[in-house]
Amino acid sequence: MNGRVLDVNQRKVWVLQNGSGAPLLYLHGFADVHGVKESWMPFHERLAERASVIAPAHPGCAQTDENNDIDTIDDVVFHYLEVLDALKLTEFDLVGSCVGGWIAAEIAARHPEKIRKLVLIGATGLFVEGALIGDVFMMAQPEYGSSYASLREMLFSGANQADALNMFPDGKGELDDELRRYQMLRFGSRIGFKPPYFYNRPLRNRLHRISSPALIIWGEKDSMVPRTHGETYVRLLPNAQPLKIIDGAGHSVHAEQPETTAKIVLDFLAG
Amino acid sequence: MKPVQLFCWHFMAYPYLNKDFDQKQYSGWVTVPNSLWDNHKARGLYQEYIDQLAYADELGFDGMVLNEHHQNIYGLMPSPNLIAAALTQRTTRGKIVILGNLLPLHMNPMRVAEEYAMLDQMSNGRLIAGFAPGGGPETFNYDVPSANTREKFWEAADLIVRSWTEDGPFAHEGRYFPLRYVNLWPKPLQKPFPPVWIPGSRSASTMAEVAKRGYCYFLSSRSHGGETHRAQQEFAAVLEKHGDRYHPFRFGILMSTYVAETDQRAREECEEGVWYFLKNCLKGHLRREGRQLTYGPGVPYIPAAAWREYLKGYTPGRKLLGDVENWDELDASQSIIVGSPETVTRRIQSLIEKAKVGNLLIQFQLGNMPDHLARKSMKLFAAKVAPVLREESVKVFDKQFAGVDLEPAVEAVH
């Protein structure tokens, strides 16, 4: 693990970097590096075999400073523009999962010229009438005193899926993991609680600006972000591949099927 | 020193649930289906509850307490200010305590400043103004983002008090509620402003903010073991740090009681209401059954460092008040004190003495307790318990706080 602290406009940003090759910026979600895990998961390690993977932790997540001035997704986008400046990244592949996918789409809509190729995995961000994104905050409140089964069910293909149990165990997990989960929810609540949940209405009318090739990946059994959101991204992004469904996976496809998902991403980036 | 202040708190529970509610329903909060509301049965319910509060005033309680809840069966007061307005016209002497308006749920804090000022005028200076940030359930009720709730809350509270005390119009250059023209009409009657009470659950930062402003701290816990005493000590220490001194009227607690002629009769009469309250009203709030909305990582309103501290002392699956399984366990929690006047007096006296607390906010009507029993208990309490508590508390406080001056009581200007 190569972690370092980046100084961004006098705030600390925690960044992991691994591998060599073309730069790939990875923006994390819940069941993810920084969202739960301190270090890389197999998915990111596969990517790092062919790319230089750079994964900053969102404001308030892992060791990145919290920023009380973040009220909306626009503030997050501006934060990342500053991160890109600090990393001296001008053109790169952008991969985002869940909330990270939303942030990726927002960055790409503002600065399409910076994005070589875009990959969104189970991305939130869109308002699709009649298909609300699931309430991860309520699911994160324990049932029967200590059960996070319904949170696991929302984020994975099932409450008893092995990765789900590993990342979101019942009761009290390892303190540092618990804390990272909490930080991610706290960050998420800033941008994703009002309106409910995790969308920015104007985004869909801005996607037409993103001319770079785009790949949208969805878990077959995503219980958090309805598949119609993936279909909408595909329809509105001018240069998107057909929606790629990962059979058997839930919302966190990169956690549940790292090999398959990484191969699809790498093939797309290489093609 | 003045005697302990005894307030009657009414939550206004929905009392018409079927016996199978707990078995069939997942929660009493936020998502509890409102198809359970029965208009036929509920007609006149608010009248009954308001009458009980007016009765408390007649019986000589020092005040009546209301608070704000949304979308639940625990408390049917989305707007306690409406009930308070009714009480201004039905009562003449007791304080009207609203504990409180949930400031982050209001789009503009000036609305609270205005309504409280109106209530202070309408009640002839009897308002005690409570401000609360709201908890887990309210976060979901009104989609209040958690991370900045506390900051927003204190900005709103300070703006309200400033609007009561400073002549307008002035501009408020706030982070969350910037306003160009703050110019309150009417002003509150009490000078410099109505007493402010803030509830908390032992967080050091809330205590510090309360101490900084000289307000009264109210412990929102429903159980009273050693933690109540510790909360008092912590708050006293925080006051000292701010160059202030603790006295019993800087602190308040919530408790419930039922009084009848004998211990046995008290238990028999109140048991149905008590279990209804514990198993139905607390489901979703202070029960581990179903989904508990009050605390948890889904309402991340404290900073990560504070959450780390919380986790260290947290035992997953631990019993909450509503999880008690039998009467002895309930009794040990010192949450609901049930018995003859002698028993209740003795137990509350010991609580006052240990927790050095001067404001007792007492819930009499519990769950589906019928009107006649709630009134009977209140009457017996007022006749047999209150006089002893008042007399004895003066002696206790005089001994515990010899030489401590109460700040001059805030008097209404007439």
Interchain pair B298, A60: CB under 8 A: no
Interchain pair B144, A193: CB under 8 A: yes
Q: Alpha-carbon distance B218 to B384, whole Å?
A: 26
DSSP A103: H
Q: Alpha-carbon distance A22 to A54, whole Å?
A: 10
CA-CA-CA-CA torsion for B238, B243, B248, B253, nearest 10 degrees? -30
Structure tokens at B258: 């039922």
Interchain pair B291, A136: CB under 8 A: no
pLDDT digits (tens, 9 = 90+) for A126-144: 999 999 999 999 999 999 9
Interchain pair B304, A60: CB under 8 A: yes
Residues of B in contact with A194 (CB under 8 A): 143-145
User: A31 CB near a chain B CB, below 8 Å?
Assistant: no
Q: Alpha-carbon distance A249 to A229, whole Å?
A: 16
- Residue A143 β-bridge partners: A147, B291
Mean pLDDT of B402-410: 64
The whole-angstrom distance between A49's CA and the closest CA on chain B is 34
pLDDT at B407: 62
Is the pLDDT at B406 greater than 80? The verdict is no
pLDDT digits (tens, 9 = 90+) for B335-372: 999 999 999 999 999 999 999 999 999 999 999 999 99
Buried b or exposed e, range A161-171, using 16+ CB within 10 angstroms: bebbbebbbbe
Contacts of A227 (CB under 8 A, 6+ apart): A218, A243, A245
Is the pLDDT at B411 greater than 60? The verdict is no
Mean pLDDT of A210-233: 98
The whole-angstrom distance between A187's CA and the closest CA on chain B is 7
Q: Give the H or E element holding residue A74.
A: helix A73-87
Residue A195: closest CA among chain B residues belongs to which residue? B143
pLDDT at B414: 34
Residue B300: closest CA among chain A residues belongs to which residue? A186
Residue B312: closest CA among chain A residues belongs to which residue? A175
A244 phi, psi to nearest 5 deg = -100, 115
Residues of A in contact with B22 (CB under 8 A): none
Which residues of A, range 195-214, sit inside 8 Å of B by Cβ? 195-196
pLDDT digits (tens, 9 = 90+) for B271-306: 999 999 999 999 999 999 999 999 899 999 999 999
The whole-angstrom distance between B93's CA and the closest CA on chain A is 43
Q: Alpha-carbon distance B394 to B389, whole Å?
A: 8
User: For residues A101 and A21, is the Cβ–Cβ distance under 8 A?
Assistant: no
pLDDT at A271: 87
Which of A141, A170, A177, A181 would you mutate first to test chain B, the one with the most B CBs within 10 A?
A141
Residue B175: closest CA among chain A residues belongs to which residue? A69
Residue B408's pLDDT band, with cuts at 50, 70 and 90, is very low
HSE at residue B279, side-chain half, CA atoms within 13 A, is 18
Interchain pair B300, A190: CB under 8 A: no
Mean pLDDT (chain A) is: 96
The whole-angstrom distance between B406's CA and the closest CA on chain A is 39
Query: Could you tell me which of A98, A107, A90 has the C-alpha nearest to residue A207?
Result: A107
User: A176 CB near a chain B CB, below 8 Å?
Assistant: no
**CA distances, B414 to each of A194, B127, B187, B188, B189 (Å):** 45, 15, 14, 12, 8
Interchain pair B148, A136: CB under 8 A: no
Candidates B289, B297, B312; nearest CB to A182: B297
pLDDT at A143: 95
User: A182 CB near a chain B CB, below 8 Å?
Assistant: yes
Q: Alpha-carbon distance B136 to B302, whole Å?
A: 12
Please, what sign has the CA dihedral across residues B196, B200, B205, B207?
Answer: positive
Q: Alpha-carbon distance B205 to B307, whole Å?
A: 13
Q: Alpha-carbon distance A2 to A24, whole Å?
A: 15
pLDDT at A70: 94
Residue A151: closest CA among chain B residues belongs to which residue? B298
Q: Give the H or E element holding residue B143.
A: none
Contacts of B306 (CB under 8 A, 6+ apart): B203, B205
Is the pLDDT at B409 greater than 70? The verdict is no
pTM, to two decimals? 0.95
User: For residues A138 and A132, is the Cβ–Cβ distance under 8 A?
Assistant: no
Residue corresponding to tokens 């998107």: A240
Q: Alpha-carbon distance A162 to B276, whole Å?
A: 40
pLDDT digits (tens, 9 = 90+) for B6-41: 999 999 999 999 999 999 999 999 999 999 999 999
Q: How many Cβ pairs within 8 Å bridge chains A and B?
A: 98
Candidates A71, A172, A196; nearest CB to B143: A196
pLDDT digits (tens, 9 = 90+) for B200-248: 988 899 999 999 999 999 999 998 888 899 999 999 999 999 999 999 9
Residue B79's pLDDT band, with cuts at 50, 70 and 90, is very high
Interchain pair A138, B140: CB under 8 A: yes
Burial class (CB in 10 A: 0-12, 13-18, 19+), A52: middle
CA-CA-CA-CA torsion for B183, B187, B193, B194, nearest 10 degrees? -130
3-state DSSP of A131-196: CCCCCHHHHCCCECCCECHHHHHHHCCCCCCHHHHHHCCCCCCCHHHHHHHHHHHHHHHHHHCCCC
Which of B26, B149, B293, B307 would you mutate first to test chain A, the one with the most A CBs within 10 A?
B307
DSSP B412: B
Mean pLDDT of B151-162: 97
The whole-angstrom distance between A66's CA and the closest CA on chain B is 9
Residues of B in contact with A60 (CB under 8 A): 147, 304
The whole-angstrom distance between B290's CA and the closest CA on chain A is 6
Is the pLDDT at A181 greater than 60? The verdict is yes
Backbone dihedral region of A200: left (phi > 0), alpha (psi from -120 to 50 degrees) or beta?
Answer: beta
Residues of A in contact with B286 (CB under 8 A): none
Chain B positions touching chain A (beta carbons under 8 Å): 136, 139-140, 143-148, 151, 288-293, 296-300, 303-304, 307-308, 311-312, 314-318
Residues of B in contact with A146 (CB under 8 A): 288, 316-317
pLDDT digits (tens, 9 = 90+) for B53-73: 999 999 999 999 999 999 999
Which residues of A, range 98-127, sit inside 8 Å of B by Cβ? none
Residue A170: closest CA among chain B residues belongs to which residue? B316
User: For residues B182 and B214, is the Cβ–Cβ distance under 8 A?
Assistant: no
A92 phi, psi to nearest 5 deg = -160, 165
pLDDT digits (tens, 9 = 90+) for A46-82: 999 999 999 999 999 999 999 999 999 999 999 999 9
DSSP A10: T
User: For residues A154 and A136, is the Cβ–Cβ distance under 8 A?
Assistant: yes
Residue A137: closest CA among chain B residues belongs to which residue? B298
Q: Alpha-carbon distance B205 to B220, whole Å?
A: 15
B149 phi, psi to nearest 5 deg = -55, -45
Structure tokens at B75: 């408390």
Q: Which amino acid is at A240?
A: A
Candidates B145, B304, B318; nearest CB to A193: B145
Does the ipTM exceed 0.90?
yes
Q: Which amino acid is at B14?
A: Y
Which of A139, A189, A197, A198 would you mutate first to test chain B, the one with the most B CBs within 10 A?
A189
Count CB neighbours of A234 within 10 A.
18
Interchain pair A145, B292: CB under 8 A: yes
Please, what sign has the CA dihedral across residues B173, B179, B182, B186?
Answer: negative
Buried b or exposed e, range A121-155, using 16+ CB within 10 angstroms: bbbbbbbbeeeebbbbbbbbbbbebbbbbbbbbbb
